[in-house]
Amino acid sequence: MPSVSRNSQSPLDTPPLFSERPEWSDITPLDQYEDANPVAPIFYSADYKDATDYFRGVVKTGEKSERVLDLTERVIRLNPAHYSAWQYRYETLIALGSPLDVELKLMDELAVKFLKTYQVWHHRRLLVTLTRNPAPELKFIATSLKEDAKNYHTWSYRQWLLAYFNDEDLWQGELDFVEMMTTQDVRNNSAWHHRFFVVFQSGLREGETDRARVIKRELTYVKHNISLAANNPSAWNYLRGILDANNIPYADLGEFVKPYATSPQDLPVSDLVDLENPPPAKGAELPCAPAIEFLADIYEKQGGQDGLRQAAELWRSLADEHDTMRKKYWEYRTRDALKT
């Protein structure tokens, strides 16, 4: 059973060269064309030269058979960026009517092995577009993110999958999923971005149509997370994103933001817990730059001499003390605001 031998090939096995296998003797291996002086010639390993010689030979004859799946897998394992091998493999799978779930199983292994290669993910998209069975993919993605929680291809694939199939059941677990990811690492911007995509960029799903309630839920979520880790730009960007997307004035968040833009010794001691405005966690390093900036934006918007004076004071504290890397930027903001 060729499909079994294909999948049982462990990465540690070094299979015999194709030129040494009698069952390949009918194929003429084709050398790569190369003139006398190629730029950056690669000193190919014997394995790679053998596999690609046979691959060029097979492409020449146009053969699409089970053994071509073995051959293309070999080429891909030696060079996962070999997009022609991927393309030919895909066409061969289609021509043979191969079971795509078997192929996906192999991809489970290769995706993790070659996490940063475009082609692994591209191939997977093509397969799932045909199987039209996206649900198991969510679980696969969750597993894959365990290897690298911020892998760009993995997250892009999840976003594509959800948007492409746009199936009510698929979306259902997304907020819980994001919450799990931000609980593991509250600074994982990919998770925050994904949440924004799910809540604000993917249409109105059942249970999400009461937008006032959704916005309140999101504000509560992000404020809670800022209270846990005040100096987390991902959460502050998310907060700004909610407000910008829904035309909510930043000033509405003034009460919440102020304690984060204040030195701890200046904070009033209170036993009352305001659920709308969760205070910074004990020991938080305050004031934090994103909060100072946010507060300055409120004052700038408020305008007038008083507003601009207060904004300028905050920008100066960023420039001189709390965010000196961006000193020139804060000075520019000050000049820009005073100009108008």
| Site membership for another protein, residue 203 (CB under 8 A) | no
Task: Single out the residue of 39, 212, 272, 273 in contact with another protein (rule: CB under 8 A).
Answer: 39
Task: Single out the residue of 42, 95, 130, 338 in contact with another protein (rule: CB under 8 A).
Answer: 42
**Please, what is the minimum distance in Å from the beta carbon of residue 38 to another protein?**
6
**Please, what is the minimum distance in Å from the beta carbon of residue 66 to another protein?**
20
Residues 172, 168: Cα–Cα separation, whole Å: 7
Tell which positions 286-325 bind another protein, by CB under 8 A: 324-325
One-character DSSP codes across 120-163 = HHHHHHHHHHHH---HHHHHHHHHHHHH-TT-HHHHHHHHHHHH
**Please, what is the minimum distance in Å from the beta carbon of residue 145 to another protein?**
13
Binding map of another protein across residues 210-249, x = CB under 8 A, - = no contact: ----------------------xxx--xx-xx--xx----
Tell which positions 10-29 bind another protein, by CB under 8 A: 28
List the structure tokens of 21.
């296998």
Plot region of 49 (φ>0 → left; ψ -120 to 50 → alpha; else → beta):
alpha
| Site membership for another protein, residue 188 (CB under 8 A) | yes
Residues 209, 132: Cα–Cα separation, whole Å: 27
| Residue (of 50, 123, 46) closest to 83 by Cα position | 123
Residues 175, 191: Cα–Cα separation, whole Å: 10
Active-site residue flag, 116? yes
**Closer CB to another protein, 48 or 165, in the complex:** 48
| Site membership for another protein, residue 193 (CB under 8 A) | yes
| Site membership for another protein, residue 258 (CB under 8 A) | no
**Please, what is the minimum distance in Å from the beta carbon of residue 104 to another protein?**
17
Task: Single out the residue of 35, 169, 206, 271 in contact with another protein (rule: CB under 8 A).
Answer: 35
**Phi (first) and psi of residue 207, to 5 degrees:** 85, -10
Instruction: Kindly tell me the sign of the dihedral angle through the C-alpha atoms of 59, 65, 70, 72.
Output: positive
| Site membership for another protein, residue 327 (CB under 8 A) | yes
User: How wide is the angle at C-alpha 215 spanned by C-alphas 212 and 219, nearest 5°?
Assistant: 140
| Site membership for another protein, residue 165 (CB under 8 A) | no
| Site membership for another protein, residue 196 (CB under 8 A) | yes
Tell which positions 63-102 bind another protein, by CB under 8 A: 78-84, 87-88
| Residue (of 197, 212, 187) closest to 162 by Cα position | 197
- How many angstroms separate the Cα of 318 from the Cα of each of 154, 165, 258, 283? 36, 45, 15, 21
Choose the catalytic residue: 113, 116, 216, 301.
Answer: 116
Task: Single out the residue of 37, 265, 270, 340 in contact with another protein (rule: CB under 8 A).
Answer: 37
Only one of the segments 93-101, 118-126, 137-145, 205-213 lies at the binding site for another protein (rule: CB under 8 A); that segment is 118-126
Task: Single out the residue of 160, 254, 277, 302 in contact with another protein (rule: CB under 8 A).
Answer: 160
Task: Single out the residue of 155, 177, 250, 315 in contact with another protein (rule: CB under 8 A).
Answer: 155
> Are residues 292 and 314 in contact, defined by beta-carbon separation less than 8 angstroms?
yes
**Closer CB to another protein, 70 or 300, in the complex:** 300
The answer to whether the peptide bond before residue 287 is cis (omega within 30 degrees of 0) is yes
**Phi (first) and psi of residue 235, to 5 degrees:** -70, -40
**Closer CB to another protein, 80 or 134, in the complex:** 80
Catalytic residue IDs: 116
